[in-house]
Amino acid sequence: MEEVERQIFATKSWKAPGEDGLPAMAWKQVWPVVEHRVLAIFRASLEQGVQPDQWKHAKIIPCKKPGKGDYTSAKA
């Protein structure tokens, strides 16, 4: 749990929100209230070997570099 907390507080407060739509600042503010609930969800997930569908999604936004060619190709 310390690792999760460390990552939450290490994140810059105004970074773009993740899939949940919450910016890091919101997580930092609510963490003291929700940390035990989050830990319970993580433990149950590990014990049961099941991850919620929401955990299986991510937004990937490529950052295009100037002068690069076709970004539809994996080798670009």
Cα 30–34–40 angle (5° rounding)?
160
How far apart CA 42 and CA 46 sit, in angstroms, is 6
The answer to the question of residue 41 being in a domain is yes
> Does residue 44 surpass a pLDDT of 90?
yes
Q: Considering the domain boundaries, does residue 43 fall inside one?
A: yes
Q: Is residue 61 part of a domain?
A: no
Tell me how far apart the alpha carbons of residues 5 and 2 are, in angstroms, rounded to a whole number: 5
What is the residue range of 41's domain?
23-48
What Å distances lie between residue 75 and 20, 44, 61, 62, 70, CA to CA? 31, 40, 17, 13, 9
Return d(Cα 46, Cα 62) in angstroms, integer.
31
State how many domains the chain has. 1
Evaluate whether residue 31 is within a structural domain: yes
Domain assignment present for residue 59? The answer is no
**pLDDT tens-place string over residues 5-42:** 898 899 888 887 877 888 899 999 999 999 999 989 98
pLDDT digits (tens, 9 = 90+) for 57-69: 877 777 777 877 7
When pLDDT is averaged across residues 65-75 and rounded to a whole number, the result is: 73
